[in-house]
Amino acid sequence: MGLQRLDFAEFYRSAADECLRTVLISVGDQGTAQDLVDEAFARAWASWGTVSRHPAPKAWVVRTALNASISRWRRRHREVLVSDPGTVADPPANGGASDSFVDPKIMAALMRLSARQRQVVALRLILDLDTGRSAEVLGIAPGTVMAHLGRAMAALRNDLKPERQEETRP
């Protein structure tokens, strides 16, 4: 058990950020991505005997995270809406800082892709999976992965191209 713990801890240390970034690009929301990845890693630890023998444990985690469904009912019941801000004391002065560290321009361009294209981009570019493994994770044909990646790259290139500068005359 002790060795298993060390083994899993090492895996988590090396893979957590990469998996989080991959799922973030796929779902577009950092908090949601963190929840999904946390749950996927917890499941990996619960079944570490099996997952550790998987040829690509990182791919297993990402697939589990992407498959994880969070019921809408639970989401709505975890939330409180307050319509009377007068009942609330002033927040502390240090409030207001965003906890997001994502480049907004590129994230906006990624969000304009289809969900499947984003997943392919995330698996191929962030998790660095090959076409075959990406296809396995997503349950689609390798040719489809290549097609999605090609279209996604073209769309991103077009979206992120530098704005043309106007020529100025003296």
Shortest reach from residue 121's CB to another protein, in Å: 7
Shortest reach from residue 20's CB to another protein, in Å: 5
Q: Which is nearer to another protein, 17 or 130 (CB)?
A: 17
Shortest reach from residue 143's CB to another protein, in Å: 19
Q: Which is nearer to another protein, 106 or 141 (CB)?
A: 106
Query: Distance between CA 50 and CA 46 in Å, rounded?
Result: 9
Whether the Cβ atoms of residue 44 and residue 57 lie closer than 8 Å to each other: yes
Q: Which is nearer to another protein, 94 or 165 (CB)?
A: 94
Whether the Cβ atoms of residue 61 and residue 154 lie closer than 8 Å to each other: no
Whether the Cβ atoms of residue 22 and residue 122 lie closer than 8 Å to each other: yes
**Quick one: tokens of 143?**
């040719």
Query: Distance between CA 40 and CA 131 in Å, rounded?
Result: 22
Amino acid at 1: M
Give me the residues that bind another protein (CB under 8 A), please.
5, 8-9, 12-13, 16-17, 20-21, 24-25, 29-32, 34-35, 37-39, 41-46, 48, 71, 74-89, 91-92, 94-103, 106-107, 110, 121, 125-126, 153, 156-157, 160-162
